[in-house]
Structure 1
Amino acid sequence: MAHLRLIARLDIKAPNLIKGIHLEGVRVVGNPQTFAQRYYDQGVDELLYVDAVASLYGRNSLTDLVRHTAENVFIPITVGGGLRSVDDVRAMLRAGADKVAINTAAVARPDLIREVAETFGSQCMVVSIQAKRQTDGRWEALTDGGREHSKLDAIHWARQAQDLGAGEILLTSVDQEGTQKGFDLALTRAVAEAVTIPVIASGGMGKLDHLDAVVGEGKADAVAMAHVLHYDKLSLDAIRAHARNSGITVRHDG
């Protein structure tokens, strides 16, 4: 595989950086700009900002935060939450984002994926899938921060998103998110095998061995981490060193 990308995920409930479990039970962590700068200084490959309450209010409130971050941080920034139109995406890109992650609006109107990809390029269009395992063993794609059912099969939806022009899939396991018990490897692998575009695994990173598992068994192209970084459970240096020892190539070597 190409280099594994290490991504710091920052969920925002303006003006605070927050962290939940199963996308619920939120705690305030601190100032997102402070954390973003720290991860940049430590050599993270990308930043992912998610407006955790945007779909409730119908708008993304991260423009100023993104603008400030982009002035100080020179790695790709992906922004998700509450983006509903090509104009919303254009405004976020103008603020300094490199990519946008869209979930709820894409489920509601899949053609939005094609419109964004055709206007700004597929590399800019990340489809965010929040997947929850069902009793029959399949995964359903949820919307509105994991609160609403779409009745879409997450694997089929990932394939459709690629066909419409998505350049990446941001795959969050609602079951594993915030638990630090490891990624949903079966889910990640099923999506990775269904598409040819990169899959970012999110939800469950708790210890170094989880990285090996999600890259090997899960076939992930990138890993988005929140809790282990925010609470200093693992350093980016330690994660990179472990990856190297496991034969996984990472972008920034120290």
Structure 2
Amino acid sequence: MKDDKVLYSIRNLQFRYSQNPVLRVERLEIERGKIYVFLGPNGSGKTTLFKILNCLLYPVKGEVLFMGDPLKQSSDIRDKTVYVHQNPLLLSGSVMYNVAYGLKLRRVPVEERKKIVSKTLSDTGLSGFEYKKSTRLSSGEVQRVAIARALAVQPEVLLLDEPVSNIDSENILKIEETLLQIKEKYRCTVLICTHNLPFAYRICDELIHLENGEIGETAENILKGRVIKQEEQFIYFKSGELTLICS
């Protein structure tokens, strides 16, 4: 019997490159509508796991179920998941053209496409960027446009590989706001791998540690909240009734 709450269910997953084992996951379940952050050093298996979850790679052993069906037999997974790389590439042209591109490939009618793009840009804090050229964007703005482009096709799952790496603090905060909006407005499950621990704690529901290809303890994040004020040296962070000051 399928559990509608569980999006991914993993059992005894193994993956290796040539003869080198890089991933061994005995058990992992990912629930709908949550933000999961995967932490771990380089080479811990985070990116490999994400590629498996998006059917870019297949495990050599074990079982991965997506919405109750084996991953290889889930023909519509590519329509339900979007993977945003650490250094996303935008097409030459405007922001609007980039965000609309996935809709165009899906043959969404032009007028409907315009409405979706307008709403997506508004929801991601990019209103006013419609006609800005992709070549004139900062690295943080490129990442935000890539997230908007992914969101426009209304995926069930959004996978982000190091979305705030080498990005200025202003755009990091805007990405945080966007991800929290995605969760609330779109009911989208967001999976993130990152090295940025403060960013992780500010937004995630569940924190998963990966090391040497294996998953450590999964922890619920009880200090999730939002940034309410930022100064040169300090960030004021609101979590429930608590206000935390982080340097």
Say which structure, 1 or 2, has more relative contact order (CA 8 Å, 6+ apart). Answer: 2
On whether the aligned pair clears a TM of 0.5, the verdict is no
Greater helix proportion? 1
Shorter-chain TM-score tier: 0.3 to 0.5
The structure in which a higher percent of residues are strand is 2
Greater Rg over alpha carbons, structure: 2
